[in-house]
Homo-oligomer: A and B are copies of this chain.
Amino acid sequence: MDIITLGLPDLAAARRFYVDGLGWNPIFEVPGDIVFLQIGHGLVLGLWHADEMERDIDPNAPARPATGPVPMTLAHNVGSDAEVGEVLARAEQAGGTVLKAAQRGEVGFVHGFFADPAGFRWEVAHNPGWVINADGTVSIEPAEPAAVEQVDNAG
């Protein structure tokens, strides 16, 4: 996958949050229209007007609410338990909302959630079992080995 595009009711508010607030650097921008932020290896987060995004798919698309939580989360792993709280605090200072304070979750690692001004939700986690290998593949070592099952990936 290459791009995640968020459809926003207020592009300027989103830009203030992600660029001015969190300090993420645009790699490409059409002022007032679209902002692209690098968020991973070959991975870009697009900020775009919700109505234009809908019209790009279907010119006759009915208007829909573009605020509030959507059935999706984005996740960012950090390097320590303490950093989870630090990132949540920074998001709050930038105008976001902390939905779940840093705490040890059911699966055994420390995490928390914040929402951006439009309601898109980010998980911030310190999961030592989440390993990105040199070739970019991910290995997951469960915190509770007895409760989960590693799938044979050879097929």
Contact = CB atoms under 8 A, between A and B. Distances in A.
Interface of A: 1-8, 25-31, 36, 38-46, 50, 53, 56-58, 64-66, 69-77, 99-100, 105-106, 113, 118, 120-121, 123, 130, 132, 136-140, 147-151, 153, 155
Nearest to A7: B71
Identical chains in the assembly:
2
A30 to B, nearest CB: 5
B30 A148 contact: yes
A41 B39 contact: no
A27 B139 contact: yes
Q: Shortest 9 CB-CB distances between A and B: which pairs? A: A41-B136, A7-B71, A3-B75, A41-B41, A70-B70, A42-B132, A28-B140, A1-B39, A29-B151
B138 A42 contact: yes
A72 B5 contact: yes
Residue among A29, A31, A71 with the highest chain B CB neighbour number at 10 A: A71
B42 A72 contact: no
Nearest to A39: B1
Given A4-B4, A42-B40, A71 B73 contact: no
Given A27-B137, A41-B41, 8 more contacts: A2-B132, A5-B74, A30-B149, A42-B138, A53-B73, A57-B73, A66-B71, A70-B71
